Amino acid sequence: MTERKEEMIRWMDRNTPPGYPWRSTLVATVWGGVFAFLWSLTFFTKYHNLYYNVLFEWLPGASGRRVFNENAVMPEFVEIADGKLTGFVILTVAMIGLVILHYTYHYQGSKSIYLMKRLPKKTELWRRCLTLPVILALGSAAVAAGLRVLFYVFYMTMTPESAIPPGQWIW
């Protein structure tokens, strides 16, 4: 085991309820993050479909060729991006559930809550219940924000200037 991995394990042990099986939480969160990320990528397929269906029109006849319509306007950015980050929103909100899970863990198999409540460090119980969920929620929100910026930059650079509706902003 590398030193870095050992350090990470120690950090997790120190910042989750004592004995809590944080590995399964982490695996579930990573999978949730992967699905949220994959779902967010449907922004590009939606954009791609709209780009060709809205900005181009078929030439009459059966030539099978399309030409750029200079008068066409793309749907607004927020409309295309709508719902694409839902996975991350769910993941962030799910962290409230993780806090509850961490707290109720102290009632499972024993009443370790009695020990946690009489520790000289008053904040220890809540520190261990909150640290991981808060970090994961912030991480999820940060990735979502980053993707939103990426989508916006993509939209603004890939869409021909004449086809960008006026007053576009990130939200």
Partner 1 sequence: MLEIKDVTKLYSGRRGIASVDLAVGPGEIVGLFGENGAGKTTLLKCILGYFKYHGEITLDGAPINTKNIDRLAFATCEHSFFPNMSPADHKVFYQMNFPKFNERRFEGLMEFFELPKNRALKQFSVGQQNQFEVILALSQGADYILMDEPFAGNDVFNREDFYKVLLGILEPNETIILSTHLLEEVESFIGRAVLLRKGKIVGDVTTDELEESGRSLMDFVKQTYHYETDRVIKALSKMTDEE
Tokens of residue 61, six digits = 């006849």
Distance CA 161, CA 147 (A): 22
Contact 28, 133 (CB under 8 A): no
Q: Are 56 and 73 in contact (CB under 8 A)?
A: no
x/- track of binding to partner 1 for residues 19-48 (CB under 8 A): xxx---------------------------
Please, what is the angle between helix 86-105 and helix 124-158, to 10°? 170
Per-residue contact flags (x/-) with partner 1 for residues 88 to 127, judged by CB under 8 A: --------------------xxxxxxxx-xxxxxx-x---
Residue 83 found at the interface with partner 1 (CB under 8 A): no
CB 102, min distance to partner 1, A? 13
* Nearer Cβ to partner 1 (114/169): 114
Interface with partner 1 (CB under 8 A), residue from 8, 9, 11, 18? 18
Residues that bind partner 1 (CB under 8 A): 17-21, 108-115, 117-122, 124
